Amino acid sequence: MSYYITAVGLGAAFCTTISFLPQAVKTIQTKDTSGISLLMYSFFTFGTLLWLVYGIMSRDVPVATANAITLVFACIILVYKIRYK
């Protein structure tokens, strides 16, 4: 049973993490962040950082891995939002 729970967690982590890739690619290509709220994305990025810390502290590999990757994408988008206002 534990294997299936881990598999579901990894599947969910993969889907939610990879969903940020298209936005990051589009933002890099167009430098257009007009549709992105700076306040919302700042909170989201900080929340992702906290989830990463939680995953590391609780030794939860799916949570830590997914949030580490998501944090990279979120930081890219946030930097572009700040740089190309």
What CATH number should be reported for the domain holding residue 16? 1.20.1280.290
The radius of gyration of the chain from alpha carbons, rounded to an integer in Å, stands at: 14
Conformation bin of residue 15: beta by default, left when phi > 0, alpha when psi is -120 to 50: alpha
Q: How high is the pLDDT of residue 20?
A: 86
Q: How high is the pLDDT of residue 64?
A: 92
Q: How high is the pLDDT of residue 10?
A: 85
Residues of the chain below pLDDT 50:
none
Q: Taking the model in full, what pTM does it have?
A: 0.83
Q: How high is the pLDDT of residue 85?
A: 77
Which range marks the domain in which residue 34 is found?
2-83
- Round to whole Å and give the CA distance between 31 and 38: 14
- Round to whole Å and give the CA distance between 75 and 21: 12
What is the count of structural domains for the chain?
Answer: 1
- Round to whole Å and give the CA distance between 7 and 2: 9
The residue type found at 60 is D
